[in-house]
Chains A and B, each alone.
Chain A
Amino acid sequence: MCSIVESNIICIKKKAAEKVRPMVNIVWILLILIGLVVAAFNGKIEAVTQAALDNAKYAVELCFGLIGVYALWLGLMKVAEEAGLVKKVSQKMQGVMRFLFTDIPARHPAIGAITMNIIANMLGLGNAATPLGIKAMRELQELNPHKDRATDAMCMFLVINTSSVQLIPATVVALRSTAGSSNPTEIIGTVFIATVCSTAAGIIAAKILQRYY
């Protein structure tokens, strides 16, 4: 579990990771074990060994290839963070938020935290987004009459968060460029349209389901 020296957010992240890890664990084991059994039947044991060794090596080369793009992107993110860009954009979004979160009183601090989390996510500022999101959840919990049951606003917030509109999918662009794409950024537009669709679907689903659950 979490030690005393660790900050609260690292601790929360750790706990969440522990819940998800068994799922990833199972998929990982299945991939390898099924692969080995099928290889034995197909007479491809040697090919499998070769593939494992080659790809372990390739994975490392790939990670080193990512350093440059990561550095560029994280450098920009730092500038955006220190300039307070997230806060600025959030102030312009308050109107939309009031439509989505009808059960939060006007001027409640939850709205600000939610907006800033969503904007940080849109800009790909994952590290800045998590503390804002946790703050938003705590504000929403203050308004919650049943402390173990999610409110409509919480559900809406997390549905938007998990389907969040991506302005720049930085990791994908970085991977594409490292993998030798002739146009690594060509998918930014398609990602944008796809997330607009998924976020809209999520919002509509949440608005409908909140009446029945």
Chain B
Amino acid sequence: MADIIDIISSFAIPAFIFVVLVYGHLNGVSVYDSFVEGAKEGFVTAVKVLPYMVAMFVAISIFRASGAMDILISVISPVTEFLGIPAQILPLVIMRPMSGIASTGILAELFKVYGPDSFIGRVASTVMGSTETIFYTLSIYFGAVGIKRIRYTLWAALLAEMVGLIASVGVCSIVFGR
């Protein structure tokens, strides 16, 4: 199991690059030119993210430096420990369904404090990658066609997110060890 996951991790990006370039070339795309065209957006995107990053980083670092984060963690850790989730990732879990950029900031701060290769860093990465900004997405798509009664959609989506969270911790424990 862990071996297969390892192989997926190592080969996903090279395989994707290979497929995209070969498929693009065979379909008459001027691959180099359109790559450069897309790459231009890299700078713009990073600059667009910057103010959100600063806002979130400052807020969460104040919260952490004051000692409030330690208090929060010690209060909630009995509950999160019961579920097997590291209490340190709770701010990420709360922010994730609300805002993609804000949760990216929280993830980056966790990397800075615990390191991306720590267990917390790996679980946080997996949680971030496997969940979505539920509230925003539902708002876009239901808003676009004027649906008001969304029935069970939010509950099913939140349940899926919870399962993703627990699965993230489980898979990381198996693959990386605690």
- Taking A20-B139, A55-B109, A181-B121 as known contacts, 7 extra A-B pairs with beta carbons closer than 8 A to each other, sorted by chain A number, are A16-B139, A27-B98, A150-B149, A155-B151, A186-B122, A191-B125, A194-B168
Provide the residues of chain B in CB contact with A34, threshold 8 Å: 63, 66, 68
A85-B23, A133-B141, A161-B141 given as contacts; is B35 within 8 A of A76 (CB)? yes
Asked whether B39 lies within 8 Å of A179 as measured between CB atoms, the reply is no
Q: Would you call B129 an interface residue if the criterion is a C-beta within 8 Å of the partner chain's C-beta atoms?
A: yes
Contact residues on B (Cβ < 8 Å of other chain), bracket: 35 or more
Name the contact of A72 in the complex, choosing from B39, B68, B98 (C-beta under 8 A).
Answer: B39
Q: How far is the CA of A72 from the CA of B140 in the complex (A)?
A: 28
Interface-lining segment among A38-46, A90-98, A99-107: A38-46
CB distance from A175 to the nearest CB of B (A): 6
A172-B125, A173-B13 given as contacts; is B99 within 8 A of A179 (CB)? no
Per the 8 Å Cβ criterion, residues 136-194 of A in contact with B are 137-138, 140-141, 147-150, 154-155, 157-159, 161-164, 166-169, 171-173, 175-176, 179-194
Asked whether B65 lies within 8 Å of A187 as measured between CB atoms, the reply is no
Per the 8 Å Cβ criterion, residues 40-68 of A in contact with B are 42, 44, 47-48, 50-52, 54-56, 58-60, 62-64, 66-68
Q: How far is the CA of A73 from the CA of B20 in the complex (A)?
A: 11
A74-B39, A150-B151, A209-B155 given as contacts; is B24 within 8 A of A171 (CB)? no
The number of chain A residues with a CB under 8 A from chain B is: 115
Asked whether A198 lies within 8 Å of B68 as measured between CB atoms, the reply is no
Provide the residues of chain A in CB contact with B49, threshold 8 Å: 63, 66
Q: Would you call A5 an interface residue if the criterion is a C-beta within 8 Å of the partner chain's C-beta atoms?
A: no
Asked whether A63 lies within 8 Å of B160 as measured between CB atoms, the reply is no
Q: Would you call A32 an interface residue if the criterion is a C-beta within 8 Å of the partner chain's C-beta atoms?
A: yes
* CB within 8 Å: A-B pair count: 393
Asked whether A76 lies within 8 Å of B38 as measured between CB atoms, the reply is yes
Q: Would you call B76 an interface residue if the criterion is a C-beta within 8 Å of the partner chain's C-beta atoms?
A: no
Asked whether A185 lies within 8 Å of B105 as measured between CB atoms, the reply is no
Q: How far is the CA of A158 from the CA of B161 in the complex (A)?
A: 13
A74-B41, A163-B160, A189-B175 given as contacts; is B153 within 8 A of A158 (CB)? yes
Name the contact of B132 in the complex, choosing from A48, A64, A78, A164 (C-beta under 8 A).
Answer: A164
Name the contact of A56 in the complex, choosing from B24, B57, B111, B159 (C-beta under 8 A).
Answer: B57
Asked whether A155 lies within 8 Å of B67 as measured between CB atoms, the reply is no
Asked whether A190 lies within 8 Å of B172 as measured between CB atoms, the reply is yes
Name the contact of A189 in the complex, choosing from B9, B41, B94, B134 (C-beta under 8 A).
Answer: B9
* Residues of B near any A CB (own CB < 8 A): 4-10, 12-13, 16-17, 19-21, 23-24, 27, 29, 31, 34-43, 45-47, 49-50, 53-68, 71, 91, 94-95, 98-99, 102, 104-105, 107-109, 111-112, 115-117, 121-122, 125-153, 155-157, 159-161, 163-164, 167-168, 171-172, 175-176
Name the contact of B164 in the complex, choosing from A28, A44, A51, A195 (C-beta under 8 A).
Answer: A195
Q: How far is the CA of A48 from the CA of B64 in the complex (A)?
A: 8
Name the contact of B140 in the complex, choosing from A13, A77, A175, A195 (C-beta under 8 A).
Answer: A13
A-B contact pairs, 9 of them (CB 8 A): A32-B58, A54-B61, A59-B56, A72-B39, A83-B20, A134-B141, A147-B146, A176-B116, A189-B4
